[in-house]
Amino acid sequence: MKRLFILILLGLSFAVAGMAQWPKRLNIVTGEVAGKDTIPHVDLPEVGIYPPRVFKNKSEEQQYWRLVMRVKKVLPYAKEAALLLRKYEAEVPADARGRDRRVYVRRAEEELMNKYGPIMKKMSINDGRVLIKLIDRETHKASYDLIQELKGGVPAVFWQGVARVFGNNLKTKYDPYGEDRQIEMIIQYIEMGII
């Protein structure tokens, strides 16, 4: 009886030890057979490799981190603007002219001002500069062109004048390889989760 108990106990311990080495999750991947070898094929995500930031002085570093905070603050609004523009373009019929288009644009403007007006009023002038560039990045249209397309030429000129008074320009284009290279790198860092 003792021997039987020891054999059962020994068998169970080997079974538990064997199960402990069995993988918890089994991944099945495609592969190619080359001769007597099987070569698995696995798609890996793209990985960005960037050098560490080197600043000339403390002031430049502070300026960089201020820009990071501005981009983090404004980027969601630029993405939302692009989504809303696509939504409005899809909802307004292409043949809508005159009064029908003005009514729809006015309703959309009221909706946007109710939702984002208080937030936009609290933004600084520098936040506005970054927002104008990011709206161009997300929609592929300058803010001036969007206003002109949706509301007409006179309101576009008016808002361009208001922007110029505060040192901004609604016709500013986003240049990810030139002037706005640093903003583009910050956006990529944000999207990868580094910053």
pLDDT digits (tens, 9 = 90+) for 44-67: 887 777 778 889 999 999 999 999
Do the domain assignments include residue 147?
A: yes
Is residue 26 assigned to a domain? no
Asked if residue 123 belongs to a domain, the reply is yes
Residue 124 lies in a domain: yes
Residue 144 phi, psi dihedral angles, 5° rounding: -60, -45
φ/ψ region of 39 (left if φ > 0, alpha if ψ in -120 to 50, else beta) reads beta
In the chain, which stretches have pLDDT less than 70? 1, 10, 12, 14-24, 26, 94, 96
8 A C-beta contact, residue 133 and residue 172: yes
Is 125 part of a structural domain of the chain?
yes
Beta-carbon contacts of 8 under 8 Å, excluding residues fewer than 6 positions away, are none
Q: Residue 46: what residue type? A: E
Overall domain count for the chain: 1
Does 11 reside within a domain?
Answer: no
Residues 6+ apart with CB under 8 A from 154: none
pLDDT digits (tens, 9 = 90+) for 13-56: 766 655 555 556 767 778 888 888 888 888 888 777 777 888 99
Quote the CA–CA distance of 75 and 138 in Å, as a whole number.
9
pTM attached to this predicted model: 0.70
Do 154 and 101 form a contact (C-beta atoms < 8 A)?
no
Q: Is residue 104 part of a domain?
A: yes
Q: What is the pLDDT of residue 74?
A: 92
Spell out the residues 6+ positions from residue 150 whose beta carbon is closer than 8 angstroms to its own.
Answer: 88, 105
For 109, the domain range is 58-192
Q: Residue with structure tokens 């538990």?
A: 16
Burial class (CB in 10 A: 0-12, 13-18, 19+), 71: buried
For residues 112 and 100, give the distance between their C-alpha atoms in angstroms, rounded to a whole number.
19
Let me know if residue 80 belongs to a domain: yes
How confident is the prediction for the chain on average, in pLDDT? 83
